[in-house]
Amino acid sequence: MTAILNFLEQTGFYQFAQDGNWKCLIMMGISFVLMYLAIVKKFEPLLLLPIAFGMLMTNLPGAEMFHEILFAGGHVHWDLFGGAPITAEFVNGLEGITDTLRASFTSLIGTSVTPGLVDYLYLGVKLGIYPCLIFLGVGCMTDFGPLIANPKSLLLGAAAQLGIFMTYAGCRLSGMFTAAQASSIGIIGGADGPTAIFVTTRLAPELLGPIAVAAYSYMALVPVIQPPIMKLLTTKAERQIIMKPLRQVSRKEKILFPIVITVFVSLLVPSAAPLVACLMLGVLFKETGVVDRLSKTAQNELMNIVTIFLGISVGCTATANTFLSPKTLVILAMGIVAFAFGTAGGVLLAKVMNLFLKDKINPLIGSAGVSAVPMAARVSQTVGQKENPGNFLLMHAMGPNVAGVIGSAIAAGVLMALFG
């Protein structure tokens, strides 16, 4: 009988009744909502689905899929990975953790941790490996020709980063976040999930779960968030502007572009070099045409494998102790603000540029300056065609769209250099 009781006490069903574990039920509910959005609504399913499932796994009491103490305080504690016992000195010396987490870690004093699968997978996030590999795949899949053909679109991509810095300012003024945390939240405005994860793991790892969920959820909602802002800031006549076809870009230009960008950005913002270099290496693979096998591997098999690992490990960081807090609600709210300002920044700069240009720019393509490739460009195309069915803005919008990828990486590098 005693053995049966001991078994029952070890089950997750019994542990739900223990102090604080009711929060796990809420997190499981959130994970089910995210699964619904991924499966039924098809909102960024390639990442939202593994993130949601990772969130489900980590909040099952007793499963111990992810051990927060191995990465407590924003550092990888290699001695704990090696089986060293947890000491009172270690727990008391941790900085940047909540009282709830500290109390949880205190109960582990005198024990050791056996790392699980997710703990090892999360090392790829913590060490910045997965975001860089995803950028490699993105580079192989993205055509930078529209940006090369129309360099002015680089300005629109830069203007769309307004959301990052406005959100940073808002977070700091709220008094709830440090400069490093505000920087990580601001990157949501770049509509670039890998960059948001890359920055957050370095500046505010304790906020990785909420920021990752917000970044990818809002990326999926680009077709919902952007059109009202685009229409609010433009007139019907502006939305009907037809732009001239882009010039043909030579193969030599397409090959030189990634090399020049890598050198320039790495010298300007060294902390952004890993992301930009991997992105441009992917472009080089694609445009040279001499490493088709590497290009296809990077944009297919490698990209898919890394996406699975990244999604599951990020989802597993969204534990009840870290996710269910007032800060999470503020992060979700600031994410909307970030997207709104990013969209507005690109549109408004396009309107200003039209005051000085002979060949007018359709301001709708300015909204594509956020880094959601190619969703933001498709939104510009869709809104433009509703106003003028004969208007084809997709290729024009791809210029600011890919410029936004570079812009968000540079913005991330600046923030990491300032607050890292």
Secondary structure of 110-168 as H, E, C letters: CCCCCCCHHHHHHHHHHCCHHHHHHHHHHHHHCCCHHHHHCCCHHHHHHHCCHHHHHHH
For residue 7, what are the contacts with CB-CB under 8 A and spacing of at least 6? Answer: none
Place of tokens 């950005």: 265
Q: Could you report the per-residue pLDDT of 115-168, keeping only the tens digit for each?
A: 988 999 999 988 889 999 999 999 999 999 999 999 999 999 999 899 999 999
Rounded Cα distance, 185 and 163, in Å: 11
The more confidently predicted of residues 324 and 395 is: 395
- Which segment of 6-15, 17-26, 113-122, 186-195 scores lowest on mean pLDDT? 6-15
Are the C-beta atoms of residues 50 and 58 closer than 8 Å to each other?
Answer: no
Cβ atoms of residues 166 and 341 within 8 Å: yes
Count of CA atoms in the C-beta half-sphere (13 A) of 408:
35
% residues pLDDT > 90 (the chain): 58
Query: What tokens appear for 208 in the block?
Result: 């990785």
Spell out the residues 6+ positions from residue 373 whose beta carbon is closer than 8 angstroms to its own: 138, 142, 401, 402, 404, 405
Those residues whose C-beta lies under 8 Å from the C-beta of residue 13, and which sit 6 or more positions away, are none
Entry pTM: 0.89
pLDDT in tens, 262-292: 999 999 999 999 999 999 999 999 999 999 9
Q: Check: CB of residue 381 under 8 Å from CB of residue 362.
A: no
**Higher model confidence: residue 17 or residue 150?**
150
- The whole-angstrom separation of Cα 340 and Cα 362 is 19
Specify the DSSP element, H or E, that contains 338. Answer: helix 326-353
SS3 content of the chain, % helix, strand, coil (to 5): 75, 0, 25
